[in-house]
Amino acid sequence: MTSGTKIGLALGVVAALGLAGVAAFYSGLGDAGNGSCKAARQAAARMAPLARGEVAAVEIRTSPQPAPPLPLTGPDGQPTTLAALQAGTLKGKTLLVNLWATWCAPCLKEMPALDALQKAMGGPDFAVVAVNIDTRNLDKPKQWLAENRVTALPFYGDPQAATFQALRAAHKVEGMPVSIIVDREGCELGIIQGPADWASADAKALMAAAIGKP
């Protein structure tokens, strides 16, 4: 079975729920959504001139809105959502949310860089949230991370690929990997479809602007 077939089957399972949930979310957003992201607009303005070099493909949101509802499982293996994490264990943190899978070669190539970014910048105001969307052989992702010494990233999973479906519905995402930058209030600052060198100076400068650090 090809990787495209795998994700197609996974998306089919969650399509009705994912599309309906995202549609309802955005239909009810209106002006209140934009108003709740005032700080995000300021952060996006800081980030815009820094989307260059190794992170030139990052699309900075000119009018940030709350990120799509993203269901996943936490490091404890329990179902949760990105919003719930930002209200709990990840409260106060700007996040780089990355979707990856073991069948996605570009995803695997950028994982060490994501790990390095977490080691360099992870703390009370920033975290990398790498969400694995493998739908079969669910022990394989953890095994791959261990074998490749990716040690700084807590394991987040989504065996139904619902996170990808939500981003696909909201942003017409088609390929992997995909990453979004979300501020501490849950507003989406930017998105990139495809890999990046997240350990680069360019990436660190962009994340510092997202956080609000000089």
Q: In the prediction, which pLDDT does 89 show?
A: 95
Question: Which residue did the predictor score with more confidence, 34 or 94?
Answer: 94
Q: Phi/psi at 183 (nearest 5 deg)?
A: -75, 175
Higher pLDDT, residue 95 or 174? 95
Secondary structure element (H or E) that encloses residue 139, with its range: none
pLDDT digits (tens, 9 = 90+) for 99-158: 999 999 999 999 999 999 999 999 999 999 999 999 998 899 999 999 999 999 999 999
3-state secondary structure of 181: strand
pLDDT at 214: 67
pLDDT of residue 168: 86
Instruction: Quickly state the pLDDT bin for 36 (edges 50, 70, 90).
Output: confident
Q: Is the pLDDT of residue 160 over 50?
A: yes
pLDDT of residue 12: 39
Checking if the pLDDT of 7 tops 70, the result is no
Average pLDDT taken over every residue of the chain: 85
- Give the β-pairing of 71-73 and 126-132: unpaired
Q: What is the mean pLDDT of residues 55-59?
A: 97
By percentage, how much of the chain surpasses pLDDT 70?
Answer: 83
**Domains located in the chain, CATH noted:** 3-211 (3.40.30.10)
Any alpha helices (H) in the chain, and if so which ranges? 3-27, 30-35, 38-47, 82-87, 105-121, 140-147, 162-171, 201-211
- Mean pLDDT (whole number) for 178-200: 96
The pLDDT score that the predictor gives to residue 34 is 43
* Helical packing angle, 38-47 and 201-211, nearest 10°: 150
User: pLDDT at residue 35 above 80?
Assistant: no
CA distances (Å), 63 to each of 52, 58, 187, in order? 20, 15, 10
Q: Residue 167 has what pLDDT?
A: 87
Helix (H, G, I), strand (E, B) or coil at 132: strand
